Amino acid sequence: MEERARVFAWADLATALCRYSWVVTTSTAMSRHLNPNIEAAKSQADAARSQGMECVNLALNIQSHVRLWILLGNLNFTHNVSMAQHAYIVAIEANRKSPVPWSNLGFLYLSVREDALAEEAFARAKTLAPDWPGSWLGSALIHRLHLKDASASTRLFQQACVLSNGSLLDADYGLAEAAWKSTKQSMSIQPMRAMAPFLALKRYLARIPNDDAALHLNALLAEQLGSSLLAARQIERASVLIESEFEATESVANAVRYGMASLNLGRIRLGKADTQGAIDAFEAALSLLEDAGDEHPIPATRAWSAIGLGWAQCLVGDTASGMAGLQQVLATLPSLSFAEEDMPQRIHASAAVLLARFQWRLQVPVAEIAAGLDAALDVAPQDPLLITTRAALASVVGDVSQYNMVLAKLVAPLPPAAQTSLRNAHKTAMLSMLHLAASFDTPTLLQHLASSYTRADNTTDTLVFVAHTHLRVAAGCAVQGKPLPALPLPEGQDGNLLPLARQVLSTVEQRASTEGLTHWSTMQWVVGLAELMCTEHATQTTVDPAPSSVAAQRHSAKAVHLAPWSQEAWNALRVASAAPSDKKPTVVS
């Protein structure tokens, strides 16, 4: 018994030293020092690792045990792959029923890019213990890093989080990072789908509060969800930590990290109208990256920082400097090289669109603005922001032939999937409606709404937009004393105002669990105003249940409950509450 106690005492000491060697050089540990010394921390880590190995060897001389061999593998993981592999294999031989050495061996193979061997090791671990979270984490990393299967890796990270009950921090971080990467593809993240990643990252930060990478990631997710205050607070904390590390080392790698944090901080400050703070952050990013070289991602970070600085300068009234900065980005872009193939097009499009908007504000001739956008379209002919902006310019000046030319020249050649994505975008749909309303009669507009409503590839955004626009058209007809219009839908579908709005609300309610409450709130007040309008202007066919002012108030109140920050919801509730019985005029948001 005394011999076993001695073995486990040495094992406990080796475990502590192994853990210390891993954490002493992390940003969390370094942030605790007023003057952090990276080299000294690395020396301490090496010493701890050596002492840990001595402890393991002393324990093995007393008695061999599977825990000791796993510890020996962990201590050699980053320094001696062959020794680590040998230790894990001996541990497997010592206890064939344990998933731990198999999963550790899988992580070792993964670190040296032996993907097939890693996958086999994780599969063995799952076979032995299906509820062991480490093997699921390993499979998630394989799918993310090597198979490039984002959807599968997200599911596997989530499974690891559930099985570990939040104790496996790498799984928590991996799930949050997977959610963030999904926003880079779709440019948005649904609030309901973001709940699990957000909670996972919250658990991670509760255990490691000074991890600048996790704080940075938390800020980016918060920004996507519209929480600009939380985003700014978290990225400011991350910036302080990175600044401390940069001042201690002044390395290019830390300069790049600090510059990227400053870039994102500037963008987030700009989003919450802190324009001067944004200028300071963008200038800091450009200063940090001025002499950092041209390796990825430095050129892109510099370009985006210059665009942000130009944007912010224009917003504070320094349009000369701001527009000069945007033009400088466009001029220097061809001489830069980027790791991402589409990065030059994205940067060029963003700078050109911002320049066009500020030129319009300064009343620059339309022909000059159009020429700049056309030149940008030669560089990025498939950029949806550029296409929409160019079409909007033609539409706003009433140039129907130019508008149709833009559609024929730029939209028609796009792949079907790109056309669908562009067509279903909210801003594109709004532009189409405004153009049709300005250029054609009401029946043509209603026909376009009906076509959008019945398309097989429409989205919830499209359905809600159709219902909202139908309500606005109906309000215009009511003001003119005309009957409320109906959409010309196929036989068997009711295109009248209230039945269509109710149908869209039903669809939105069914999808709310995956797409969030934003559309649900919008459709509640749209249905509420449709109820009120049909009560006041009883010209529609029989509707079951019949429209009522009580239903109008109920739906509008639900809209406020679902989105209390929505001004449209509050406006609808005021209208519904004020005009139920005396038939006061209806005002549509």
**Domain CATH number, residue 463:** 1.25.40
166 sits in the region (left: phi over 0; alpha: psi -120 to 50; else beta) called: left
Residues 190 and 192: their CA atoms lie apart, in Å, by 6
Which tokens go with 203? 């658990």
Q: How big is the chain by its Cα radius of gyration, in Å?
A: 30
Which tokens go with 313? 């300068």
Residues 176 and 197: their CA atoms lie apart, in Å, by 4
Q: What are the strands, taking DSSP E only, across 504-588?
A: none
Which tokens go with 167? 């104790």
Residues 24 and 44: their CA atoms lie apart, in Å, by 8
**Domain CATH number, residue 27:** 1.25.40.10
Which pTM was predicted? Answer: 0.74
Instruction: Answer with the one of 173, 206, 239 that is the final residue of a domain.
Output: 206
**Domain membership flag for residue 356:** no
3-state secondary structure of 147: coil
Residues 269 and 263: their CA atoms lie apart, in Å, by 10
C-alpha 142: how far from chain center: 22
Q: For residue 586, which of 502, 478, 485 has the smallest C-alpha distance? A: 478
Residues 82 and 205: their CA atoms lie apart, in Å, by 34
**Domain membership flag for residue 331:** no
Tens digit of pLDDT for each residue in 431-472?
A: 555 555 555 578 888 888 898 888 887 788 889 989 998 998
Residues 162 and 133: their CA atoms lie apart, in Å, by 8
Q: Which amino acid is at 578?
A: A
C-beta separation of 457 from 412 below 8 A:
no
Number of structural domains (the chain) is: 2
The pLDDT value recorded for residue 416 is: 74
The pLDDT value recorded for residue 23 is: 82
**Domain membership flag for residue 105:** yes
The pLDDT value recorded for residue 586 is: 46
C-beta separation of 445 from 470 below 8 A:
no
Instruction: List b or e across 540-564, with b for residues whose CB sees 16 or more CB atoms inside 10 angstroms.
Output: beebeeebebebbbbbbbbbbebbe
Tens digit of pLDDT for each residue in 565-583?
A: 788 889 999 998 886 554 4
Residues 265 and 271: their CA atoms lie apart, in Å, by 10
How many residues belong to the chain? 589
Cα dist. 122→134, 137, 138, 161 in Å? 8, 9, 6, 16
**Domain membership flag for residue 563:** yes
Q: Which amino acid is at 217?
A: L
**Residue numbers of the domain that contains 96:** 2-181+191-206
Torsion angle of C-alpha atoms 486, 492, 493, 495, degrees rounded to 10: 0
Distant-in-sequence, close-in-space partners of 574: CB < 8 Å, separation ≥ 6: none
Residues 500 and 469: their CA atoms lie apart, in Å, by 12
**Domain membership flag for residue 301:** no
The pLDDT value recorded for residue 348 is: 95
Residues 51 and 10: their CA atoms lie apart, in Å, by 11
The pLDDT value recorded for residue 323 is: 95
Distant-in-sequence, close-in-space partners of 116: CB < 8 Å, separation ≥ 6: none
**Domain membership flag for residue 370:** no
Q: Which amino acid is at 103?
A: S
C-beta separation of 212 from 238 below 8 A:
yes
Cα dist. 44→17, 37, 75, 146 in Å? 10, 11, 14, 34
The pLDDT value recorded for residue 11 is: 85
Residues 100 and 436: their CA atoms lie apart, in Å, by 64
**Domain membership flag for residue 260:** no
**Domain membership flag for residue 495:** yes
The pLDDT value recorded for residue 583 is: 47
- Measure CA of the first residue to CA of the last residue in the chain; give whole Å: 80
Between vectors from CA 530 to CA 529 and to CA 535, what angle results, nearest 5°?
95
C-beta separation of 579 from 532 below 8 A:
yes
Distant-in-sequence, close-in-space partners of 339: CB < 8 Å, separation ≥ 6: 296, 297, 300
Which tokens go with 408? 């024929």
Q: What is the pLDDT along the chain (589 residues), one digit of tens a residue?
A: 578 888 889 888 988 988 888 888 776 665 555 566 777 888 888 899 899 889 988 888 888 889 999 999 999 998 899 999 999 999 999 999 999 999 999 999 999 999 999 999 999 999 999 999 999 999 999 999 888 888 899 999 999 999 998 889 999 999 999 988 877 655 456 666 777 888 899 999 999 898 999 999 999 988 887 788 899 999 999 999 898 888 878 888 889 999 999 999 999 999 888 999 999 999 999 999 988 888 888 999 999 999 999 999 999 999 999 999 999 999 999 888 888 888 999 999 999 999 999 999 999 999 999 999 999 999 998 888 888 888 888 877 777 788 788 878 887 777 777 766 666 565 555 555 555 555 557 888 888 889 888 888 778 888 998 999 899 888 888 888 888 899 999 988 888 999 999 999 999 988 877 776 678 889 999 999 999 988 887 654 567 778 888 899 999 999 988 888 788 889 999 998 886 554 444 444 4
